[in-house]
Amino acid sequence: MIIKDYHKVKILSGDMNHRKTIIYLKKRRYTCKVCHRSFSEEVDLGPRNTNISWSVIRAILEDLGKINETYISIAERHHVSASLVQKYADSFLIVPRLSLTESIGIDELHEPSLAKRQSPYIAIIVDNVDRNLLDILKSRSKEERLIVKYVTIDLCEAYRDVARTWLPNAKICADPFHVVKILTKDFDDYRIKIMNQYDKKSKAYYLLKTWSKLLLSDDYDFDPHSKGKYNARFGQYLNYYQLRKMALDIDPLFKGAYDLKEEFRDFIRYTRPDEAREKFEVVLKDFEDAGLTFYQGFIKTMKTWKEEIINSFDRPYDNRKQSNALAESINQKLDTLVILARGLINFERTRARALYILNKHVHYTLTDVFYSKKEDGKKRGKYKK
């Protein structure tokens, strides 16, 4: 081989002191003495036939792992185009098919841009054992589905029907948060009904409106002996315990409704798995015996979802009750990702990035091979002059 000549190439090398940095490389070009063909020397600063260094690509891929970053913001930071960032995402975020685990959670995400796929909803599956996103649901094999032992769901009949059909070996667990949420709403609706029976200038109206949070939350110090604050409406020092007691003493039925609500919440919080069924029956009987009409819907919910509520007390993994809290949390993060992407326009690309961000076992892989997951858009119509 003999040196034929030199040619200059520019390689983007990332920022240095917050300034765009370019490497100007003088590459040799050789000629073979035997076949007389020419070729350039190999320099491993970046992928073949590109002018972007590996360091820039790694930095772009690290930024793709941040949920609040958009393709445009990443492109501007690294002095490349948004389409190139998307190309790197398609090429290097290789997401393997993740197997289902013994305990999963299912939730849905509403995304209007998906209407073109016949439904504006996508289903997400989370791993309740390892606390990761498992997939944005399309389909799963029968062998995988038979592995699942627990599935946590919202109080949605459609989810329960799907779980019964497609996860035959799984215990279906109702998310306790959603059960308590239904009960709390029924109680709060009754609070508003009682409140509106009083004059807006009355002390009863003041207590039920201004201090309603004391009846709905535990985030206050209810120690009867705690120091109170001066209340101008009553002209005396009152602590949170006293204000709550005054509100509950307004109406005997209201006090009974509150006690039932707290009895159910204590049942959810403190019951052991081995006593869940027995205590459930006790609580259900207390609700029925009270005869409060505004709780009839909740009583029906308790009966309809009895087995699923009792199943939620099982603690097979890390002494954690079965709940859909992880799915709800990941759902919110996915919603952020979709909003920043201005809709889920490219399903496969967003799925890959979501798993890269929300599953600690998914990593990027650098290669010299590039490809795009670009989806076919709407066909262009005929041009009219």
User: Is the predicted pLDDT of residue 116 greater than 80, yes or no?
Assistant: no
Q: What 8-state DSSP symbol labels residue 211? A: T
What is the C-alpha separation between 301 and 264, in angstroms, rounded?
13
Identify the three-state secondary structure at position 345.
Answer: coil
What confidence score (pLDDT) does residue 7 get?
Answer: 78
How is the chain split into domains, by residue range?
2-92, 103-175+320-358, 176-311
Q: For the segment 141-169, what is each residue's pLDDT rounded down to a tens digit? A: 567 678 888 888 888 887 888 888 888 88
CATH architecture of 103-175+320-358: 2-Layer Sandwich (3.30)
Judged by phi (left if over 0) then psi (alpha if -120 to 50, else beta), residue 14 lies in: left
Please give the average per-residue pLDDT across 67-95, as a whole number: 90
Please give the average per-residue pLDDT across 309-334, as a whole number: 81
Which residues on neighbouring strands pair with residue 9, listed in sequence order? Answer: 25
Please give the average per-residue pLDDT across 74-87, as a whole number: 91
* CB atoms inside a 10 Å sphere around CB 289: 9
What's the mean pLDDT when you consider all of the chain? 85
Check: CB of residue 251 under 8 Å from CB of residue 215. no
Greater model confidence, 108 or 344: 108
Radius of gyration of the chain (CA): 30
Helical spans, DSSP H, in 196-324:
203-210, 213-216, 240-248, 252-270, 276-290, 296-304, 306-311
CA 352 vs CA 339, 347, 374: distances in Å: 16, 9, 13
Please give the average per-residue pLDDT across 74-98, as a whole number: 88
Q: What 8-state DSSP symbol labels residue 339? A: H
Residues 6+ apart with CB under 8 A from 233: 203, 206
Greater model confidence, 4 or 282: 282
pTM: 0.67
Please give the average per-residue pLDDT across 84-103, as a whole number: 85
% of the chain at pLDDT higher than 90: 42
Check: CB of residue 56 under 8 Å from CB of residue 16. no
Which residues on neighbouring strands pair with residue 320, listed in sequence order? Answer: 317
* CB atoms inside a 10 Å sphere around CB 260: 20
- Dihedral in degrees, nearest 10, Cα atoms 99, 102, 108, 113: 0
Q: Which range among 2-6, 24-28, 172-176 shows the weakest confidence by mean pLDDT?
A: 2-6
Identify the three-state secondary structure at position 380.
Answer: coil
